[in-house]
Structure 1
């Protein structure tokens, strides 16, 4: 599975930003307050230099805005309900995939002769399901703890389907 520390930490940091940047800054009526990376690093126990690298990528992908000066830091570029977790992961990582192959569009497979393994389509489909799920969950869902957890009944029904 290809969900690295970069993707996990970026989602953690963005959720922290969504939660702690929700109030307007002093003198501002519409914009949310900027949050410093040092604050996020302390709360989430993530290296500040690592966060700086992640936020550089997040800014390039239009997910955050930087604010300079006193009270500066970062704020979300769009509302948390409009930011999908998949967008965050893709901004800092390669596409989510579960296959060993070079890439989805590559004709070259993971086997020594270049062919695809017998389970290739299974893992490729799993990667697509993971992406679909992360695309369906917003940053607001994460902050509000509205991600769906499967109950034992859901799991047994899925096994019968």
Structure 2
């Protein structure tokens, strides 16, 4: 499964904001430069993040954006949902009785991909911005199966 740039860029920008803010507003132009993201694209993302009360803006000289709540209380899943990024691994629309095959049936692997999507959602809901900033994300590599 691949997360779109919208979700990835929103998380990257929010981690940058959490990491660099230190209580002072951060200009989107600075985040755009550090993260190599288009400023106009970031403006669109931050408008959505602001509407979902994840950031707040400060106008005027020295203005920019601040986290709306502590990094420890800002979940990665909330950021992704705020920018309208679905967390799912199936081709089917969530809650739809229609499946993903041409005839409208569910494919044989539907339950597998749906369970994977749910696990991704659970994982992202358990990780905060602070976890990412403090590099507290554990990665586990499964051993390669013998061929």
In the superposition, the TM-score normalised over structure 1's length comes to 0.86
1:90-110 CA-to-partner distances (Å, cap 9, x unmatched) read: 111332111111x22100001
Structure 1 stretches lacking a partner, 5+ long:
23-31
Partner residue of 2:103? 113
Q: Rg: which structure is higher?
A: 1
In the superposition, the TM-score normalised over structure 2's length comes to 0.94
The number of equivalent residue pairs is 144
Separation (CA, whole Å) in 2 of partners of 1:72 and 1:94: 28
Partner residue of 2:60? 69
1:65-124 CA-to-partner distances (Å, cap 9, x unmatched) read: 0100111000000000000101101111332111111x2210000111111101000000
The ranges of structure 1 where at least 4 consecutive aligned residues each deviate by more than 6 angstroms after the TM superposition are none
Separation (CA, whole Å) in 2 of partners of 1:117 and 1:145: 38
* Root-mean-square deviation (Å): 1.2
Partner residue of 1:43? 34
Q: Does 1:104 align with 2:94?
A: yes
Separation (CA, whole Å) in 2 of partners of 1:57 and 1:36: 16
